[in-house]
Structure 1
Amino acid sequence: MSVLNIKTWFHLFWTTVLIGSLGAVAAGLALQGISGAVPFKGITDFLLYALILFGYGMLVSVYSQLGFFAYLILNYMGFGVFPRKIWQYIQLVLALLALFDLFLIRSFVGGERSLTADLLLGLSILIAALAVAHFKVRDTNASAWIPTFFFMTGITIVELIGVLRIGVDNATLFIVVPLVACNAFQILRLHRILRPAAG
């Protein structure tokens, strides 16, 4: 039997916070370097901007962790209601539907949306999900592929719904980078921090 005690949860929490903060800073500074949207009058402005990004990343990481634990509960309930194989197929179908919605439906229904932006976002999430699922399988077993793929696509897209409604590409990038980084870190770290109960 595997356990997630306070010590391991505390470690997972703070390392995820750090991952989210660094991801937000990296995304913000990269955007600043490309567009120069925020004018800096000196080093103080730059450091303040980086600090704001760091704090924003912390918020995104906490949001990511809420989604992660919601997924763990959903997965536990799914295995309780459906046979294991059926629940795997349900997750795969839900993941593909979420990707299809992100790739096409939003652009066709909302004419103001950019098809290119949605395709790039969906493709980025798909590539990240495939990469994370590959590493998860390599570290565990083949049965981990579908749950990991579902978490990295379906759950990530659900977590992005709020920012996707804004329709601003820069705002989307600000949350996608730290969110995907946090989700990837948590799902890849989970099997390492769960250990057989002693005794």
Structure 2
Amino acid sequence: MTLRKWFHMFWTTLLIGMIVSTVIGLILQYSDQEFSLMGLSAVGFNVMNMLLGGATISVLSQMGFFAYLIVRFIAAGIIRSKTVWDLLQLTIVIVVLFDLAYLRMTSFEGSFLGYLVLPVIILIISLGVAYWKVSMTNRNAFIPTLFFMSAVSVLEAVPALKLDNSASSLFMLAPLLVCNAWQILILHKILENKKS
């Protein structure tokens, strides 16, 4: 990956994060009059905070993406069998999605089925992105994409998930999932080597 390609990926992901967080923030602000960022309700100030929040979330997404690529590279060197590595990733996906519901249920008041909604939505989005990635590349991309979109996204969203507030979760998860999807879907195009 050249520096130019990395800059392209960085700035497009940053822009996507800022746009998505601003749109979600404005929807939340106009649908819930009590929603405000940092306790301030002025629309212009909140739009600026939404842009900065989206930029921060997109940078967090990029850090998670590169951390995943490094972990994947190291794991491929340690675990020689692709089947074992894929099974390990699937196991982690199942554990993370179950724990997302179970640990939040035990920490906050509510039913298990109520807390199961978010993991199911994340799983559906992750499966959709994984199928899209397979259609763009090959079937070997399915499990890594599913793992990244579900397990890594949940790990990145822990600060918002600790609050047990649907507005906070939506404000962080929406740009995070979109940024993660963007990065994983364009990775093969960025790494493509053109034959002369």
Tell whether the structures are fold-level matches, with TM greater than 0.5. yes
Equivalent residue, structure 1, for 2:78: 81
1:144 aligns with 2:141: yes
**1:114–1:58 CA distance, 2 compared to 1 (3 A):** farther
Please say if residues 130 and 142 of structure 2, whose CA atoms lie closer than 8 Å, have aligned partners that are also in contact.
Answer: yes
Instruction: Give the share of equivalent positions with the same residue, in percent.
Output: 38
State the AA in 2 paired with 1:98: V
Equivalent residue, structure 2, for 1:9: 6
Matches within 5 A, 1:116-155: 118-155=115-152
Structure with higher RCO (Cα < 8 A, 6+ apart):
1
1:104 aligns with 2:118: no
Displacement after TM superposition at 1:189 (Å)? 0.8
Structure 2 Cα separation of the partners of residues 151 and 138 of structure 1: 17
List per-residue Cα deviations over 1:6-50 (Å, max 9, x = no partner).
Answer: 0000000000001110111111111112112258xxxxx323221
1:158 aligns with 2:144: no
Equivalent residue, structure 2, for 1:94: 92
Please say if residues 28 and 35 of structure 2, whose CA atoms lie closer than 8 Å, have aligned partners that are also in contact.
Answer: no
Equivalent residue, structure 2, for 1:170: 167
Structure 1 Cα separation of the partners of residues 104 and 143 of structure 2: 25
Displacement after TM superposition at 1:106 (Å)? 2.7
1:185 aligns with 2:182: yes
Structure 2 Cα separation of the partners of residues 117 and 63 of structure 1: 28
Equivalent residue, structure 2, for 1:42: none
**1:51–1:151 CA distance, 2 compared to 1 (3 A):** same
State the AA in 2 paired with 1:89: L
After the TM superposition, which of the residue ranges 155-164 and 5-14 deviates more from structure 2? 155-164
1:25 aligns with 2:22: yes
Please say if residues 163 and 172 of structure 1, whose CA atoms lie closer than 8 Å, have aligned partners that are also in contact.
Answer: yes
What 5-or-longer segments of structure 2 have no aligned partner? 37-41
List per-residue Cα deviations over 1:102-123 (Å, max 9, x = no partner).
Answer: 123431x224356455322212
- Kindly tell me the number of residue pairs found equivalent between the two proteins: 191
Displacement after TM superposition at 1:198 (Å)? 6.6
Structure 2 Cα separation of the partners of residues 53 and 124 of structure 1: 23
Please say if residues 15 and 55 of structure 2, whose CA atoms lie closer than 8 Å, have aligned partners that are also in contact.
Answer: yes
What 5-or-longer segments of structure 1 have no aligned partner? 40-44
Structure 2 Cα separation of the partners of residues 168 and 181 of structure 1: 20
Please say if residues 156 and 179 of structure 1, whose CA atoms lie closer than 8 Å, have aligned partners that are also in contact.
Answer: yes
Please say if residues 21 and 50 of structure 2, whose CA atoms lie closer than 8 Å, have aligned partners that are also in contact.
Answer: yes
**1:181–1:114 CA distance, 2 compared to 1 (3 A):** farther
1:59 aligns with 2:62: no
Please say if residues 117 and 169 of structure 1, whose CA atoms lie closer than 8 Å, have aligned partners that are also in contact.
Answer: no
What TM-score do you get using the length of structure 1 for normalisation?
Answer: 0.89
Structure 1 Cα separation of the partners of residues 158 and 110 of structure 2: 14
